[in-house]
Amino acid sequence: MSVNINKHIADILQLYEFSMSIGKTLDFDKNCDNFLKLLLARKNLSGCCIISKEEDEYIRSYSYPVGLVDDSMMEHSEFLDDCFKGETIKAGKFVENKIVSSITTGGSWLFFNLKNDKGLILINHKGTPFSEVEINQLSPIIDKFSISLKACESFAKQDSLLRILTAQNKELREFTQAISHDLKSPLRNIVTLIAWTKELGESLQDDVVQNLENIEYNIEKMDNLIKGLHTYSTIDKFEENDKEINVESFLQEVIESLVVPDTVQFHIESNVSQLFMYPTLFQNLFYHLIDNAVNSIDKEKGEVYIKIKEEESYLNCSIKDNGKGIPEKYRERIFQLFESIDSKKECIGIGLPIVKKIVDYYKGDMQLESEVGVGTTFFITLQKE
């Protein structure tokens, strides 16, 4: 009686050991190594093999030892013939929950369906058959192992996709930087040639002067577009440390960097004087929000209200103007690249997409309220960490 109890305890401990060896890694081969090598050692088996169905062929996705489970054994064993040509496979797939055991002149074999068009073959060259008790004990463990393999494959696909996306983003960033660099030189040359031509003065006809001014206008707009594209493509690729920012002086610097009519008045309200932020992001965020507000003003006297309120874990900001307002149909589109409701050369449809990208970087939120003819308010929430 005690012998049976001891055996049951030993079986339970062994199954627990098997179970704990599964899923320790998301690498397919390492996951197989952890479990299958332990299984072979504890059960005194000769080898194992995982086969996968791809189209009309069965390939080995894992085998151990490699020299033992060779191609001739895979092709000519009676067991595999029984599995592949018999009831184990229907309509090109392994039958659900199918377990096949067999004894041949080459030893005994045990096949487990791992689902997802995979199967596990355990090999014992000594010919000792697998008992029904052993099979029943191993079944739930093999099921867990099957789930872990699916997780490994999903992770590998995700990792591969991530690598592809990273490479594509790098290529896009390099392309944008090259474009922004290579286009600036010919643009400067064109501007210089136009300036020389305009120096001819009165000898130029009025329509020629007007055409030259139109060219200058479009060149300036293209230059703004190139700068905006470069900023947008690198906004979350910067390398800098967060720094202590004096909010009021920093905002004044941003305002001074803009072309602001004398008729526009700014009102700044904040409950915090110092913030730890990434200066590049903070500057770009408020530069484009304030620039958007200024460009939207169509009144004789412009008003821009900037509010910054610090909470425990996030920052609340708002930019309000008394401009022309944004019609309902444009309120989603304005956050997309190159979508602008204004034809000014400064309005190239990149400013608000940059703002949205910065807000997303800080895992924040952005909302707007607007009334045509009255003005617009952007509400920004940024997580501080």
pLDDT at 280: 80
Parallel/antiparallel/unpaired status of strands 107-115 and 243-246: unpaired
- Residues sharing a CB contact under 8 Å with residue 252, sequence separation 6 or more, in sequence order: none
Q: Is the pLDDT of residue 1 over 90?
A: no
Which is more confident, 78 or 201?
A: 201
Q: 3-state SS string over the chain?
A: CHHHHHHHHHHHHHHHHHHHCCCCCCCHHHHHHHHHHHHHHHHCCCEEEEEEEECCEEEEEEEECCCCCCHHHHHHCHHHHHHHHCCCEECCEECCCCEEEEEECCEEEEEEEEECCEEEEEEECCCCCCCHHHHHHHHHHHHHHHHHHHHHHHHHHHHHHHHHHHHHHHHHHHHHHHHHHHHHHHHHHHHHHHHHHHCCHHHCCHHHHHHHHHHHHHHHHHHHHHHHHHHHHHCCCCCCCCEEEEHHHHHHHHHHCCCCCCCEEEEEEECCCEEEECHHHHHHHHHHHHHHHHHHCCCCCEEEEEEEEECCCEEEEEEEECCCCCCHHHCCHHHCCCCCCCCCCCCCCCHHHHHHHHHHHCCCEEEEEEECCCEEEEEEEEECC
Name the pairing type of β-strands 375-383 and 314-321. antiparallel
Q: Which pLDDT does position 177 carry in this prediction?
A: 65
Give the tokens for residue 380. 């920004």
Where is average pLDDT lowest: 86-95, 225-234, 252-261? 86-95
> Looking at residues 2-13, what average pLDDT do you find?
70
CA distance 216 to 196: 13
Band (86; pLDDT cuts 50, 70, 90): very low
The two three-digit tokens of residue 293, written as one number: 């507000």
Instruction: Answer with the residue of higher pLDDT: 385 or 346.
Output: 385
pLDDT category at 277 given cuts 50, 70, 90 is confident
Q: Residues 86, 117, 134, CA angle at the centre, nearest 5°?
A: 70
Cα distance between the two ends of the chain? 63
Q: What is the pTM of this model?
A: 0.50
pLDDT digits (tens, 9 = 90+) for 21-57: 898 888 999 999 999 999 988 888 888 888 887 776 6
Structure tokens that stand for 101 in this block = 């055991």
In tens, the pLDDT along 325-362 reads 888 888 777 777 666 666 554 555 678 888 888 888 88
pLDDT average, residue stretch 170-180: 66
Angle at 37 between CA 35 and CA 43, to 5 degrees: 95
pLDDT-based confidence at 244, cuts 50/70/90? confident
**Structure-block tokens of residue 309:** 């309120």
Mean per-residue pLDDT for 158-182?
72
Q: Rounded to an integer, what distance in angstroms lies between the CA atom of residue 152 and that of residue 315?
A: 40
